[in-house]
């Protein structure tokens, strides 16, 4: 099974607990290493600049096929600064690599996860056996300081009908769909799209044809959450494609995310520990019946 992960590989400056860590980042790193940990070596579709650290390249290519990653002389690698203050996070774009203009032909399984508008929504209109989408980069604008500001991308709205799995945070869903976000997510799931709505360290709500289900997070003392959503995507995609059980795949995604954030930066996670945590998470899932119940679970007000 050849699974592709599309999005910029990044260099991240992570600020938390009064210290700064510089780390490899981006969906091909976090989602890619999660997929490898669970049993498949994925393929990355990405671009990096001539400034990309050689040790990051050597590390990543051991676990992810980089044959479709362009090294662009004269360009700079996409670089973010992530500042954590408790559960709050501010994100700044420091550098941006070149756009990715085309995807390889013949892709069957793919997770599309831009971080800084690096490819157009046209890539979502190609024919895939399975298309997973994290829209994060499609919903980001950057102010004069590079700070990320979310907006509703109308072009993206036109392309969601072809998506099999849609992983989106609650904040992103409200930015994209407005006050009708719950209705839109239900409508997507009624048409066959599985929606994983991320609630941060509280877990996810899965919208599927059977209804809406709360999948709790595995308790962790992590001080930052970089890569959690990407790791969830890797766990969900691998398990859904191999076992075809939406709720179990979501539990595996949450377990993978909990392990990934326990230390900063992308790393291999223990498959046996993923499965052990998944069983506990799965045993605690339950159905939810309304938007009001979901908001009570989230314990947050998103402006």
pLDDT of residue 71: 98
Q: Which two tokens stand for residue 21?
A: 């860590």
Residue 165 included in any domain:
yes
Residue 58 included in any domain:
yes
E-strand stretches of 73-129: 79-85, 88-95, 109-112
Residue 32 included in any domain:
yes
Helix-strand-coil split of the chain, %, nearest 5: 35, 30, 35
Q: Which two tokens stand for residue 116?
A: 């800084």
If one counts the domains in the chain, the total is 1
pLDDT of residue 291: 77
Q: How many CB atoms lie within 10 A of CB 157?
A: 14
- The CATH number of residue 47's host domain is 3.40.1190.20
Q: How many CB atoms lie within 10 A of CB 244?
A: 9
- In this prediction, the residues of the chain whose per-residue pLDDT falls under 70 are 299-303
Within 178-290, where are the H helices? 181-190, 228-243, 246-260, 271-283
pLDDT of residue 301: 41
Residue 303 included in any domain:
no
Q: Name the CA dihedral angle for 178, 128, 136, 267, rounded to a multiple of 10 degrees.
A: 140
Q: Which two tokens stand for residue 253?
A: 């995604």
Residue 250 included in any domain:
yes
pTM: 0.95
**Residue whose C-alpha is closest to residue 210's, from 131, 286, 300:** 286
Rounded distance between C-alpha atoms, residue 66 and residue 107, angstroms:
15
Rounded distance between C-alpha atoms, residue 183 and residue 291, angstroms:
9
Backbone angles phi, psi at 205, to 5 degrees: -115, 125
Residue 247 included in any domain:
yes
Residue 194 included in any domain:
yes
Residue 51 near residue 74 (C-beta atoms within 8 A)? no
Residue 56 near residue 44 (C-beta atoms within 8 A)? no
Rounded distance between C-alpha atoms, residue 34 and residue 230, angstroms:
8
pLDDT of residue 165: 99
Q: How many CB atoms lie within 10 A of CB 294?
A: 18
Q: By residue range, what is the domain housing residue 294?
A: 3-298
């Amino acid at each position: 099974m050849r699974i592709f992960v599309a999005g910029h590989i990044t260099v991240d400056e992570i600020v938390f607990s009064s210290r700064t860590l510089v780390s490899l980042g981006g969906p091909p790193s976090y989602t890619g290493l999660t997929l490898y940990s669970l049993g498949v070596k994925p393929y990355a579709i990405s671009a990096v600049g001539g400034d990309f650290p050689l040790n990051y390249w050597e590390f990543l290519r051991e676990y992810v096929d980089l044959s479709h990653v362009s090294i662009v002389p004269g360009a700079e690698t996409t670089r973010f600064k992530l500042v954590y203050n408790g559960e709050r996070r501010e994100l700044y774009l420091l550098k941006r690599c070149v756009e990715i203009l085309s995807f390889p032909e013949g892709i069957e399984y793919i997770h599309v996860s831009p971080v800084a508008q690096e490819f157009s929504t046209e890539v979502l209109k190609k024919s895939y056996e399975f298309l997973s989408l994290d829209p994060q980069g499609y919903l980001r604008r950057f102010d004069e300081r590079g700070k990320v500001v979310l907006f509703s991308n109308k072009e993206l709205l036109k392309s969601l009908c072809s998506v099999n799995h849609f992983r989106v945070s609650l904040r992103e869903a409200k930015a994209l769909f407005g006050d009708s976000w719950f209705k839109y997510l239900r409508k997507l799931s009624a048409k066959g799209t599985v929606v994983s709505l991320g609630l941060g360290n509280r877990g996810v709500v899965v919208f599927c044809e059977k209804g809406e289900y709360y999948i709790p997070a595995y308790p962790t003392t992590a001080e930052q959450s970089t890569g959690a959503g990407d790791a969830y995507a890797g766990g969900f995609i691998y398990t859904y494609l191999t076992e075809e059980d939406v709720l179990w795949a979501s539990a595996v995604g949450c377990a993978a995310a909990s392990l990934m954030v326990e230390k900063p930066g992308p790393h291999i996670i223990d498959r046996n520990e993923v499965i052990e945590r998944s069983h506990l998470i799965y045993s605690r899932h339950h159905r939810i019946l309304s938007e009001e119940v979901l908001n009570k679970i989230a314990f947050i007000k998103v402006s």
